[in-house]
Structure 1
Amino acid sequence: MYLNQLGVVCALGTTTTEVWQNAVAGSQQGMQTSDLRLVDASPLIVGQVADEALPTLAEQAALFQTRNNRLAAAALANIRSDIERCKARFGADRIGVIVGTSTSGIAEGEQALKHYTQHHALPASFNYRMQEMTAPADFIAAYCDVSGPRYSISIACSSSARALMSARELLQSNLVDAVIVGGVDSLCRLTLNGFRALESTSSGLCQPFSKQRDGINIGEGAAFFVATREALEPQQPQVYLSGAGHASDAHHMTAPEPHGRGAQLAISAALKEAKLSPEAIDYINLHGTGTPLNDAMEAYALTELGLQHSLASSTKPMTGHTLGAAGALEAALCWLTLQAADGQLPRHCYAGDYDADIAPLSLVTAERGLSHRAKHCLSNSFAFGGNNVALVLSRNEAGANQS
């Protein structure tokens, strides 16, 4: 499955160029104290997108006017040309939509409930369908005027990574000829209060794999690809999904299995399908949330599989953990890595005091990069309930077929 054009918006920026430049520079400019009120009134740092960077959607139906859909629309603007090309080539009914999300329009539901407590009635602008998990897929289909199969996947933090796998299955089944696929999630009080109640949030900027790590920063963002069986621009170097694996360890509702058995199964399956040895992986985008248990599990799992020598980074200190959008956003950073010709990699941001009690990994610091252009990247997504997904993205030279 070819991943043709990329549209992305997150705390790192609103264009692929801006996101990539800030990712390799290790910029944390988008990480800021949330203005959303928490139950315990404590401040939290989040990865936030500036409101003025998002379209208003004033011309869309009222039920589509949510922040989640505004984020999606901002990302889709960057791939609109490929979408229109696919419509002309295949027909609107042969283009599907698959979205990973976990918040959908819950923020608008929160605002409606606040209005209700004050006025004893829901606001006229509120429609319950705004916060349904299928809402982003319905919006994208209407916004892009496509009529193929559409649905959302909501399995917490691996939602949009699984969406990429599902897009490939739709293409392989010949139900569609193209898929608008990715993920989107927006900040809301429910999410922030929920993770705060789990005692999983960081007191400052998160520091994955640091001895001082104490939790996550939540973020918002959107990342979407136009996926096809054949490359839309075969004369250009192409990025494709060469391997994918998913597994459930069913260990605990919120805590990872300590030895990462499910994670190892997913990564092994992805490598096997891609026909790659661990040594072939140039870069790993770590799940790397910054929680004590998750980072220890991931380091152990990668070491057991012989991947500890591949250069790796967690980009969540720059974007926040974008939950349902994280899998697609981090696959997007791998896509950008494969497109870069200079060996630069997304930076790993932390204080530099790696936790000596967990297995050592080869983190990307300011001095580290590749001596060659990356050809294979691994992206890990591990979620509540033991939902583990691993993706291998690879690069073909111009005119080459998928291998």
Structure 2
Amino acid sequence: MRPTYLRGAGLASALGPDLPAAVHALRTDAPPRMRRHAGLDWPVHAVWEGEVPASEDAWMAHARETVCAAARESGALDTARSGPLFIASSSRDIGAREQSLAWHGDTHAFSERVAQWLDWRGPVFSVFNACTSAVQAVLSAQRCIGAGECEDALVLGLELPNRYTVCGLAAMQLLSTERAQPCGAGRAGLVVGEAVAALHLGAAPARWRIDGGACVVGGSNPAGLEPQALARALDLALARGGLQARDIGLVKMHAAGSGANDALEASLLAERLGTHVPWVTLKPSLGHTLGAAGAAELALLTACQAADVWPRLHYAPDPALAPQLGKAPAHAAHRLLLLFAGFGGGHAALVATDQEAR
């Protein structure tokens, strides 16, 4: 199998319209853009400024502008339009359907519309599998590139404004009414994040290489983190990259702010990797971007390392849970481990190597 490289990335998020804006926001300690939908108590990390467009056409116009900008930023539109396009999302176009009340229709239709926006000529795939969607899309692209089926691919993680997702998670009592505090002493739930992330993957060498990854479904707790399944995903990701736990220099936790899930993840990491490896969480800055998280967090994490900028915590981490959380690495990590979990029992791990860090 040929190696797969991250050739470029684009990101529109609560930190700004692109990756340079996101890095600048982290460097200057600017707060993420927030929104509360009218009549709802729960905040959202907002990808668009102001209120959500009040018509289907306006929502689609905003979505098109944001998606095309992120894809251009990744560089994929210059070389990759004949390769596969993977659309990863939890909510798809539900925000537009809220405006039109048109709830019927093919779930793949939105992916085809996105492809038309980009004038995409290659095959289009929909990956709609809760919060591990974008990781599964990355691994699918990696297999295509590795097998020589294509030279380039584009993964788009899309989590766009809507009330449906917020109301559903709120009904399950999973949301914080203020802000997310992953692994914090006062953590009280997650905060939804909106994002459009673009990953241009390809066979041509680049700074970042995708070494290994895995998705594992656990059947005993479909709405929460299952340590055995996450451990299995971690072990498989390392094995597929020909790596061992000691090779990891930085961990990006899934940590969303759940009292039980954060504790289970921290305990697993301490057991498998020890407490000397720095941990970081991006959800206080991005929110939990759900189906887009695998793409959004990989894009931001690699940009942070390249710029030597790291998100600071504005709350007290639980010292008994994650004493090394939020501390900037002393030097650039050669290998990054990213963890994700989602509804339906999905657990995922991804390993990326920075070939400029030794």
Calculate the TM-score normalised by the size of structure 2: 0.89
- 1:8 matched to 2:11? The reply is yes
CA drift at 1:53: 12
CA drift at 1:388: 0.7
- 1:370 matched to 2:339? The reply is no
CA drift at 1:223: 0.8
CA 1:203–1:64 in structure 2 vs 1: closer, same or farther (change >3 Å)? closer
C-alpha distance in structure 1 between counterparts of 2:311 and 2:245, whole Å: 20
CA 1:199–1:73 in structure 2 vs 1: closer, same or farther (change >3 Å)? same
CA 1:26–1:282 in structure 2 vs 1: closer, same or farther (change >3 Å)? farther
Calculate the TM-score normalised by the size of structure 1: 0.80
8 Å CA contact 1:216, 1:321 repeated in 2:
yes
Matched letter for residue 212 of structure 1: G
8 Å CA contact 2:37, 2:163 repeated in 1:
no
CA 1:226–1:350 in structure 2 vs 1: closer, same or farther (change >3 Å)? same
8 Å CA contact 1:100, 1:324 repeated in 2:
yes
8 Å CA contact 1:148, 1:176 repeated in 2:
no
C-alpha distance in structure 2 between counterparts of 1:161 and 1:105, whole Å: 20
8 Å CA contact 2:59, 2:96 repeated in 1:
no
CA 1:27–1:249 in structure 2 vs 1: closer, same or farther (change >3 Å)? farther
Cα RMSD (Å): 2.7
Residue 318 of structure 2 corresponds to 354
CA drift at 1:242: 0.9
Residue 261 of structure 2 corresponds to 294
C-alpha distance in structure 2 between counterparts of 1:388 and 1:127, whole Å: 29
Matches within 5 A, 1:293-312: 293-312=260-279
Residue 215 of structure 1 corresponds to 189
CA 1:15–1:174 in structure 2 vs 1: closer, same or farther (change >3 Å)? same
Residue 50 of structure 1 corresponds to 48
Query: Of 204, 207, 212, which residue of structure 2 is paired with 1:238?
Result: 207
C-alpha distance in structure 1 between counterparts of 2:228 and 2:310, whole Å: 28
- 1:100 matched to 2:88? The reply is yes
CA drift at 1:338: 4.0
Query: Of 55, 73, 76, which residue of structure 1 is paired with 2:71?
Result: 76
C-alpha distance in structure 2 between counterparts of 1:17 and 1:154, whole Å: 28
CA drift at 1:62: 6.7
Please state whether the residue corresponding to 2:17 is helix, strand or coil: coil
- 1:224 matched to 2:198? The reply is yes
- Bigger-Rg structure (1/2): 1
Please state whether the residue corresponding to 1:209 is helix, strand or coil: coil
C-alpha distance in structure 2 between counterparts of 1:317 and 1:345, whole Å: 12
CA drift at 1:290: 0.1
Residue 154 of structure 2 corresponds to 180
8 Å CA contact 2:47, 2:161 repeated in 1:
no
Please state whether the residue corresponding to 2:344 is helix, strand or coil: helix
Matched letter for residue 35 of structure 1: H
Deviations 1:304-342 (A, max 9, x none): 2124322112111111111111111111122213433x4
Please state whether the residue corresponding to 2:84 is helix, strand or coil: strand
C-alpha distance in structure 1 between counterparts of 2:93 and 2:144, whole Å: 26
Query: Of 34, 39, 42, which residue of structure 1 is paired with 2:36?
Result: 34
CA 1:128–1:174 in structure 2 vs 1: closer, same or farther (change >3 Å)? farther
Residue 17 of structure 1 corresponds to 20
Residue 395 of structure 1 corresponds to 354
8 Å CA contact 1:47, 1:319 repeated in 2:
yes
**Structure 2 unaligned residues grouped into runs of 5+:** none
CA 1:187–1:249 in structure 2 vs 1: closer, same or farther (change >3 Å)? same
Matched letter for residue 77 of structure 2: I
8 Å CA contact 2:59, 2:95 repeated in 1:
no
Please state whether the residue corresponding to 2:201 is helix, strand or coil: strand
C-alpha distance in structure 2 between counterparts of 1:83 and 1:301, whole Å: 40
- 1:328 matched to 2:330? The reply is no
C-alpha distance in structure 1 between counterparts of 2:37 and 2:216, whole Å: 37
8 Å CA contact 1:159, 1:325 repeated in 2:
yes
Deviations 1:154-209 (A, max 9, x none): 11111101110011112223332211113011121111111110001102111111
Deviations 1:105-162 (A, max 9, x none): 111111122xxxxxxxxxxxx6955xx5424532332222222221111111111011
- 1:317 matched to 2:284? The reply is yes
